[in-house]
Amino acid sequence: MSPSDSQLNSTHLLRFIFDRLKTFIAIGIGAAVLSSIVALMMEEQFKSTVVMFATPQHSIGEQFYEEIKRNDLLEYGETEDAERLLQILNSDRIRMRIIQKYDLWVHYDIDQSQPGAQALLGKEYNSNVDAGLTRYGSIEVNVYDRNPQQAADMANDIAFLADSVANRLRNDRAGEAMGYASSSLQQVQQEITAMEDELGQLYGLGVYDFATQIEGLNEQYATAIAKGFPGNAEKIRKQMAEISNYANQFNKLSNLIEAAYEREAILKKRFELMKLDAETQMPSAFVVDYAAPADKKSKPIRWLIVVMSVASTMVFALLAMLAAENLKDSSVV
């Protein structure tokens, strides 16, 4: 298309609009009146926002019982921590507790007995409650409601419930691990008790420390022989022979019980670590800004609704008139 053709088309379009200017004005006024009425009928909603940073979900017990600490509980969480917290904020656990606490069935005027009531409530909740990541790595929880105080209360409760749910999940997971550690610890302690009983029987037979006892008896035996006391030497030899009968059993038990004591110490440490994780409540986020009741409505933006409605109506009317004009010209030809 040449520039001259484009100019002719633009001129034709302007001429077309000018010839029907009164019609366009009437349509614009009508659209403005109707959209204004609709905008005025729309319910005002107030927005409250909570801003928070996720914390890293590290083991608390590790900070107390491990000599080398790989993580810092006071640092800010990474993107993965924020995404995990965001999943909790958008979870059904929090949604159902908010719905129950604020009786949103009544607040949103939804009949629970009607078909699709749950889906309708979920849609209404999602349109008024939103949680998302910001470009700064923080999380914003936005709540819209016709009551500014309720919007602020709901936003703050959602942040509080995120802590509660995150702690519950962590405590439950640590509780299971603590149960495994406890059963393993009890098993090792039972093994130690059994070995201590066997060693006690050997102590009763006079076997206390085989290597030390044999070394001492050898010295006594050599001394008795050297000093010419064959009777004493024979007694010592019999005593060594009697002790030697329990040598393998004593040495085996000594090695096993030493290893068992080491395992017991490790399992005790793990048990205490898991117990601390299972019983301790730690914040899942640093709240930067708590929600406060808004003193100005957030939506609807009535002037924008009117402007967009008038503009879209005018464009639609222009396209409809152009189509009608083209059909008219085609029928004439």
pLDDT digits (tens, 9 = 90+) for 111-153: 888 888 888 998 989 989 998 888 888 889 999 998 899 999 9
| C-alpha span between 81 and 89 (Å, rounded) | 12
**pLDDT interval class at 15 (50, 70, 90):** confident
pLDDT tens readout for residues 303-319: 677 778 878 888 887 78
Whole-prediction pTM = 0.63
- pLDDT above 50 (res 234): yes
Strands 285-289 and 129-133: unpaired
| C-alpha span between 155 and 1 (Å, rounded) | 58
Mean pLDDT of the chain: 77
What are the φ/ψ torsions at residue 139 (nearest 5 degrees)? Answer: -120, 130
| C-alpha span between 14 and 8 (Å, rounded) | 10
Distance of CA 137 to the CA centre of its chain: 15
Instruction: Say which range, 150-164, 203-217, 243-257, has the weakest mean pLDDT.
Output: 203-217
**pLDDT interval class at 256 (50, 70, 90):** confident
CB-facing half-sphere around the CA of 24: CA atoms within 13 A: 17
DSSP string covering 109-162: T--TTSTTHHHHHHHHHHHHEEEEE-TTS-EEEEEEESSHHHHHHHHHHHHHHH
- pLDDT above 90 (res 156): yes
Long-range contacts: 303-306, Cβ < 8 Å, 24+?
305/35, 305/38, 305/39, 305/42, 306/32, 306/35, 306/36, 306/39
Spell out the residues 6+ positions from residue 241 whose beta carbon is closer than 8 angstroms to its own: none
Angle (nearest 5°) at CA 184 between 183 and 188: 115
Identity of the amino acid at 326: N
- pLDDT above 70 (res 186): yes
For 50-84, b where at least 16 C-beta lie within 10 A, e where not — what string? bbbbbbebbbbbbeebeeeeeeeeeeebeeebbeb
Mean pLDDT score, 10-19: 71
**pLDDT interval class at 98 (50, 70, 90):** very high
- Per the listing, tokens 């996720």 go with 54
pLDDT score recorded for residue 70: 55
Helix (H, G, I), strand (E, B) or coil at 51: strand
pLDDT score recorded for residue 5: 47
Polymer length in residues for the chain: 333
56-60, 253-257, 261-265 — most confident range: 261-265
The residues pairing with 145 across neighbouring beta strands, listed in sequence order, are 46
| C-alpha span between 171 and 126 (Å, rounded) | 29
Q: Do 164 and 138 form a contact (C-beta atoms < 8 A)? A: no
Number of other CB atoms surrounding residue 38 within 10 Å:
14
